[in-house]
Chain A
Amino acid sequence: DAGVTQSPTHLIKTRGQQVTLRCSPKSGHDTVSWYQQALGQGPQFIFQYYEEEERQRGNFPDRFSGHQFPNYSSELNVNALLLGDSALYLCASNPTGTGRNYGYTFGSGTRLTVV
């Protein structure tokens, strides 16, 4: 059973460019969350998608946007990249409304470097 799959694993972009990161949730999971993890810090919540809608958002600017597709996969888009956007971007999925929830399942992340 595949877990959470993220692509690409590594990416290098130039300041001002736009980037799209992709996530396929674990089989049976319908909710996807995105986190940003700067070097040496804990992950920071960006937003969460359920039923193709953004349900909750962390303290991130509008340059960060997302989308969820009918098959529950998700994309994270970042516009006008800044050097400070360099980080590991993590996708997590979980099932909703299934009773006891054992927490999120995280992918291995996409390492974004902005130069």
Chain B
Amino acid sequence: DAKTTQPTSMDCAEGRAANLPCNHSTISGNEYVYWYRQIHSQGPQYIIHGLKNNETNEMASLIITEDRKSSTLILPHATLRDTAVYYCIVRVAPDNYGQNFVFGPGTRLSVLP
């Protein structure tokens, strides 16, 4: 079973920041938080991941609370192409080939013109 809870759907106006929350209250100390997204009819796409510090890359920012029980993915200037299902996943340290990703139903983000 997925270890995360996300809202089923969210809307965001084009050009505004999209803030997608995720609860992972049972996260362990060695588990990372990963975010993927899946645009219709495509495979999931890696966005970002982090352990306890906030992270930023060219796609998004990841804000993890100090107690690590929740996080927020931020798309700073959402475009229509960001419309997708966003998955928040927790997983043990990534170098072990035996670790797989457990996907929940995710959040369906609709960016509106």
Number of interface residues of B (CB under 8 A): 24
Contact A42 B100 (CB under 8 A): no
Contact A102 to B45, CB < 8 A, known contacts A42-B87, A56-B98: no
Partner of B103, one of A44, A100, A102: A44
Residue numbers of B with Cβ under 8 A of A are 2, 34, 36, 41-46, 49, 85, 87, 94-95, 97-106
Inter-chain contacts of B36 with A (CB < 8 A)? 103
The yes or no answer to A4 lying at the interface (CB within 8 A) is yes
* CB < 8 Å A-B pair total: 63
Contact A103 B105 (CB under 8 A): no
Q: Give the CA-CA distance A104 to B49 in the complex, in Å.
A: 12
| Chain B residue nearest to A4 in the complex (CB) | B43
Residue numbers of A with Cβ under 8 A of B are 4, 31, 33, 35, 41-45, 48, 50, 55-56, 58, 90, 92, 94, 96-109
Q: Give the CA-CA distance A100 to B95 in the complex, in Å.
A: 7
Q: Give the CA-CA distance A71 to B105 in the complex, in Å.
A: 34
Inter-chain contacts of A50 with B (CB < 8 A)? 97
Contact A103 B97 (CB under 8 A): no
Q: Give the CA-CA distance A87 to B16 in the complex, in Å.
A: 34
Beyond known contacts A101-B94, A108-B41: 18 more, CB 8 A cutoff: A42-B2, A42-B87, A42-B103, A42-B105, A44-B103, A45-B101, A48-B97, A55-B97, A55-B98, A56-B98, A58-B100, A90-B43, A92-B43, A96-B97, A98-B95, A103-B101, A107-B43, A108-B43
Inter-chain contacts of B97 with A (CB < 8 A)? 31, 48, 50, 55, 94, 96
Contact B43 A102 (CB under 8 A): no
| Chain B residue nearest to A9 in the complex (CB) | B41
